[in-house]
Amino acid sequence: MPTTTDKENASLQAAREVIEQIKKKPQSCLGLPTGRTPRALYRHLIAIAREEKVDLTGVRFFGLDEYIDVRQESAFKTYLNQSIYQPLAIDQNNCFSPIMIDDYDALIKRQGGLDLTILGIGGNGHIAFNEPRTPEFSWTHCVTLDESTRTANQEFFPSLDDVPRRAVTMGIQTILESRKIILLAFSKSKIAILNRAFNGSVEEAIPASFLTKHPNLEIYTDFEFTWLK
């Protein structure tokens, strides 16, 4: 398990893991998060990919989630376009979002399944947009967002009223089926929820707690954290 207390260094290490995955399997399927947490990782990923001239033409990119009824400028697809797809000149045919198809899980399976999924964690323990009380055996589905989640994401919108109330997200099983998972938790505000998820009971109240069942999970933090197992 990586141990680091520096966000830049943690993001760099995580970016190197992603590059290693792509070099090992050029046809990799990657699950990608949005939000504040992965920004540094994407920056490092772009820098390494350019410097090492990594071939990305076979990589397929799957957004974890997307708002329903959102203006284009605030859509997660726009975030991913700006943060990673455009800077790396990724073919749009290799960029997928759960909003674009009824059966996202079937699409992921047809593409060979997720090899590596990067996650952040919400203040209430959500992963992607799987809010508390999401069943463990859930696949890609529509959700009503918690008010705490809408408030946490308000800064990406002109006002709280503009934050959509609904979204579509990969389910818990979609995520757990990924062959490898990298979880990023940055800022002291995530310490308590990370401890509850990994050192507390596994329960629907904390969706991230289901990650403890995954056999190939790495956690990167910018604070001291020990998974007691």
Residue type, 53: K
Residue from 65, 105, 115, 131 touching ligand GLP (CB under 6 A): that is 65
- Among residues 12 and 41, whose Cβ is nearest to ligand GLP? 41
Which one of 13-21, 51-59, 90-98, 115-123 is the stretch in contact with ligand GLP (CB under 6 A)? 115-123
Q: Which of residues 170-229 bind ligand GLP (CB under 6 A)?
A: none
Q: In what order do the strands lie in the sheet containing 217-221?
A: 95-96, 60-63, 29-32, 116-119, 180-185, 217-221
Neighbours of 104 (CB within 10 A): 23
- Among residues 121 and 197, whose Cβ is nearest to ligand GLP? 121
Residue from 31, 63, 122, 171 touching ligand GLP (CB under 6 A): that is 122
Check if 126 is active-site. yes
What are the strands, taking DSSP E only, across the chain?
Answer: 29-32, 60-63, 65-67, 95-96, 116-119, 141-144, 166-169, 180-185, 217-221
Residue from 28, 138, 140, 149 touching ligand GLP (CB under 6 A): that is 149
CA distances 193 to 5, 122, 126, 200, Å, are 17, 8, 10, 10
**Alpha-carbon 130 to chain mean position:** 11
Q: Which residue is nearest to ligand GLP (CB)?
A: 120
Which one of 22-30, 95-103, 114-122, 206-214 is the stretch in contact with ligand GLP (CB under 6 A)? 114-122
Residue from 40, 64, 80, 194 touching ligand GLP (CB under 6 A): that is 64
Query: Which residue in the list 124, 204, 214, 218 is annotated as catalytic?
Result: 124
Check if 214 is active-site. no
Taking CB under 6 A as the rule, does residue 129 contact ligand GLP?
yes
- Among residues 27 and 187, whose Cβ is nearest to ligand GLP? 187
Q: What CA–CA distance (Å, rounded) separates 168 from 186?
A: 24
Taking CB under 6 A as the rule, does residue 34 contact ligand GLP?
yes
Taking CB under 6 A as the rule, does residue 33 contact ligand GLP?
yes
Q: In which residue are the tokens 């990924």 written? A: 178
Q: What CA–CA distance (Å, rounded) separates 52 from 36?
A: 26
Q: What CA–CA distance (Å, rounded) separates 67 from 44?
A: 26
The contact set with ligand GLP (CB under 6 A) reads: 33-37, 64-65, 120-122, 128-129, 149, 153
Q: Which residues are catalytic?
A: 65, 124, 126, 131
